[in-house]
Amino acid sequence: MNSKLYIGGIPYTSTNDDLKEHFGAAGTVVSAQIIIDKMTNRSKGFGFVEMSSDEEAEKAIAMFHDQEFQGRRLTVNVARPLAPREDRPRRTF
C-alpha cells in the first residue's frame, strides 16, 4: 500500500494546516497539500496527505472516509500514481 492519500470534498476555505491538523489524529502527517487552481488561485476542493506509514494511512482511511470535515463529507482513498501524459503538441494562443 502507499502512504499517500487522496482527499476529496475539502471545503474551499480550508488550509494545508487545517488538513494536517485533522489527519494528525490518525498518526504522523509527513505532508498535506490542497490543490490550488492556477487561474483563480482558489482551492479545487481536493488534495493529498502523506502519512508516515502504511498502517497510519489505513487508519486515516478508516477514521475519515465519508466523515464530515468543516461542513463537508470527505472522500479518503489511496492516491493513484500520476499517469504519464501523452506526447502532444503544445497549444499556442
All structural domains of the chain: 4-78 (3.30.70.330)
Whether this prediction's pTM lies above 0.75 is answered by yes
- Return the pLDDT at 56: 95
Q: How far is CA 20 from CA 7, 16, 23, 56, 92, in A?
A: 12, 6, 5, 13, 39
13-42 pLDDT, tens digit per residue, is 999 999 999 999 999 999 999 999 999 999
